[in-house]
Amino acid sequence: MELEGYLRKALQKNEFFLTYQPFINFYTGKIIGAESLIRWDHPKLGLVSPLEFIPLAEETGLILNIGNWVLQTACGQAKMWQEKGAIDFTISVNVSAVQFQGINFVKEVKEALEKSGLQPKYLKLELTESVMLQNVQYSIDVMKELQKLGVQISIDDFGTVYSSLSYLKDLPANNLKIDRSFIQNLHANTKDMAIVRAIIAMSKGLELKVIAEGIEQQVQWQLLKEMGCDFAQGYYISKPLSAKQFETFLATGS
Ligand code: G
Ligand code: G
Ligand code: NA
Ligand code: MN
């Protein structure tokens, strides 16, 4: 397959780059960090969406090397921004199920931290519920090991797939990201409002910081702030930015 052949060479040819989408503290209005999002710029195909190539990378096992490259690049970039003055800047990295279940995952996380010099507490790993539910006990063990390193765990896309509360209480996690499908119509839909309010209350009880993703309008921002949500992300604040654009954003806050 053509795409697969291209994907096999993409790392070596330096065709991947990361974009960064900021997280804002609702109360201070300050940038607390960013989520790294991979992009593939192929000379013939142009930009290929991760929605297209991540599944292929998972099927072929290429995700192991790609994911490791993301970890190293993201940690290195975060450390560089900290050195340039971004105090307490945290970087979030999306982790695929195949990568997470890989036997070297914890070791690779440790190596990325050591190589970059980034303190573990400034790395957040974003895991979706489907990543963790492939093998719940194993996942919990790995998450505990990661937390022992000092790394933070975020539950991504919460509310979309299983949302089983019986396992949520046992998950070693630090942050919960409310899926953007609940945020989209928040201002117009009393059911979404009830669910989001409940997720925030539950998170506080479980001592999880709550992040709302996909905030596109001021009205959503305002409602979430009033509901006590901790951190904000979405196009209303900023789209994912190139490293260079992100530096400007950091410098000017816009
Ligand atoms: O940035 P965008 O909306 O195009 O991302 C589409 C999907 O690809 C999202 O689900 C996102 O989590 C995923 N994605 C983006 N970057 C990475 C990455 O570095 N690793 C993994 N595993 N998934 C990513
Ligand atoms: O699956 P995950 O939550 O990691 O997906 C992250 C992706 O969501 C990012 O790649 C980004 O392109 C997209 N995204 C971020 N903010 C918004 C937003 O406000 N609206 C929409 N529609 N998509 C967003
Ligand atoms: Na994510
Ligand atoms: Mn998400």
What is the atom index within ligand 2 of the atom nearest the CA of 216? 19
Pocket (CB within 6 angstroms of ligand 2): 21, 37, 94, 156-157, 180, 213-216, 234-235, 240
Minimal-distance CA residue to ligand 2 atom 18: 214
Tokens of 23: 């997280």
Tokens of 221: 């921002």
- Cα separation, 215 vs 211, in Å, equals 10
The per-residue DSSP string of 85-133 comes to T-TT-EEEEE--HHHHHSTTHHHHHHHHHHHHT--GGGEEEEEEHHHHT
Q: What is the pTM assigned to this prediction?
A: 0.97
* pLDDT, position 164: 75
Q: Domain containing 10 — which CATH number?
A: 3.20.20.450
The alpha carbon dihedral of 221, 93, 87, 242 has a sign of negative
Residue 212 near residue 232, CB atoms below 8 Å: yes
β-bridge mates for residue 21, sequence order? 35
CB of 120 within 6 A of ligand 1: the answer is no
Helix, strand, coil % over all residues of the chain, rounded to 5: 50, 20, 30
* pLDDT, position 161: 76
Residue 191's Cβ-count burial label (10 Å; 0-12, 13-18, 19+) is exposed
Average pLDDT by consecutive 10-residue portion of the chain (254 residues)? 93 98 96 98 97 97 98 98 96 96 97 98 94 87 97 94 79 96 95 97 96 98 98 98 97 79
| Total tally of structural domains belonging to the chain | 1
Pairing of strands 31-42, 16-25: antiparallel
Q: Which domain holds residue 105?
A: 2-252
* pLDDT, position 72: 98
* pLDDT, position 163: 67
* pLDDT, position 254: 60
Distance between Cα 127 and ligand 1 center (Å): 11
How many helices and strands, by DSSP H and E, does the chain display? 12, 9
Minimal-distance CA residue to ligand 1 atom 23: 94
